[in-house]
Amino acid sequence: MKISSKDNRYIRLYRELGRKKFRSQYGLFPAEGKRLIEDLIDGGLKPQLLLYRESFSDIAFLEKICPHADQVFCVEDRLFDRLSDTRNDQGLLATFPCFCPDIDTFVPSENSFILILNRISDPGNLGTILRCAAAAGVEAVLIEEGSVDLYNPKVIRGTMGSVARVPVFDGLSREKICLFCEKNQIRIFLSDLENALCYDKLPVDEKIAVVFGNEGRGIDEQWHKKIRDSVMIPMENGVESLNVAMASAVICFDHQRKRRKNLK
């Protein structure tokens, strides 16, 4: 079926999903591009809706992914142009159900490594952190309430599909996070700038979680009042700090390096 009207309900739906209010209302989030949509499907997510532009020419790709979608529609190019969020779109859009796992059902493994994100506000940073977490084998990511919306299109695009490859628990209160860590005997470290354990000394023989804070304000004072352990990345040449996504990547991959070394 081909869609040619801007008032079509699926066209209206996709447009509305650009706003957090409607993503929450419908329990859906939008995704754009062949690679991202394929990666989300490979990660176990099932598209509720698939839209492709009329001039889309990769028929073999369509034949591969269309069976995964509940509904598939062709969209006239002039309408598709208004839906696409990127300058050079790939002619493919999809909606996926929001995934909301219950943290109470999650059981960390022995010597697990977890990230806690405290009010991260930049969509690009959150997307990059989730992508790095998946690549470095982080066991879970806990996102504290007050952070940017997990299903923001820029976040999803930044993850490159990795959001489906690592357990992510969104919108958690600080109290909920602390109770979870206490229940599972997870030691919490705050990422800090000074007077802290060097990142390459983080233990690999116990369950740990590292908290990363807001890009401008850092970690909330309430965390500092509750948690005593902290970890830092030493800086040279007068550099005071790193971007939060870069800092998390350094710590995540160093911890992965030590875990891999211990397995040999």
- What are the pLDDT digits (tens) for 221-233? 999 999 999 999 9
Give yes or no for residue 246 having a pLDDT over 90. Answer: yes
- The rounded distance, in Å, linking the Cα atoms of 116 and 140 is 9
pLDDT over 70 for what percent of the chain? 99
Contact predicate 190/218, CB 8 Å: no
Question: Structure tokens of 164?
Answer: 């489906």
Of the candidates 135, 166, 168, the one whose C-alpha atom is nearest the C-alpha of residue 149 is: 168
230 - beta bridge partners? 190
Supply φ then ψ for residue 69, to 5 degrees. -95, 145
Domain boundaries, the chain: 2-97, 109-263
| pLDDT computed for residue 89 by the predictor | 79
Q: What confidence tier does 252 reach under pLDDT thresholds 50, 70, 90?
A: very high
Query: 230-262 burial string, b = 16+ CB within 10 Å, else e?
Result: bbbbeeeeeeeeeebbebbbebbebbbebeeee
Give yes or no for residue 59 having a pLDDT over 90. Answer: yes
Q: What CATH number does domain 109-263 carry, 1.10.630.10, 3.50.50.60, 3.40.1280.10, 3.55.50.30?
A: 3.40.1280.10
Residue 12: left (phi > 0), alpha (psi -120 to 50), or beta? Answer: alpha
**Average per-residue pLDDT in the chain?**
94
Instruction: State mean pLDDT over 104-108.
Output: 94
- The rounded distance, in Å, linking the Cα atoms of 141 and 209 is 9
pLDDT over 90 for what percent of the chain? 90
Sheet strands side by side (includes 92-97): 2-3, 71-75, 49-53, 92-97, 28-32
| pLDDT computed for residue 120 by the predictor | 97
At residue 20, the 3 state secondary structure works out as: helix
| pLDDT computed for residue 101 by the predictor | 85
pLDDT in tens, 147-170: 999 999 999 999 999 999 999 999
pLDDT in tens, 10-28: 999 999 999 999 999 999 9
**Those residues with Cβ within 8 angstroms of residue 255's Cβ, 6 or more apart along the chain or in another chain:** 113, 136, 202, 204
Q: How many CB atoms lie under 10 A from the CB of residue 150?
A: 25
Say which amino acid occupies 212: F
Cα distances (Å, whole numbers) of residue 191 to 62, 70, 118, 138, 159: 44, 43, 11, 16, 22
Q: What confidence tier does 171 reach under pLDDT thresholds 50, 70, 90?
A: very high
Give yes or no for residue 262 having a pLDDT over 90. Answer: no
| Residue length of the chain | 264
At residue 187, the 3 state secondary structure works out as: strand
Give yes or no for residue 264 having a pLDDT over 70. Answer: no
Say which amino acid occupies 32: E
CATH annotation of 2-97: 3.30.1330.30
Of the candidates 230, 188, 179, 233, the one whose C-alpha atom is nearest the C-alpha of residue 207 is: 188
Give yes or no for residue 88 having a pLDDT over 80. Answer: no
pTM of the model: 0.94
Cα distances (Å, whole numbers) of residue 245 to 159, 179, 200: 12, 26, 17
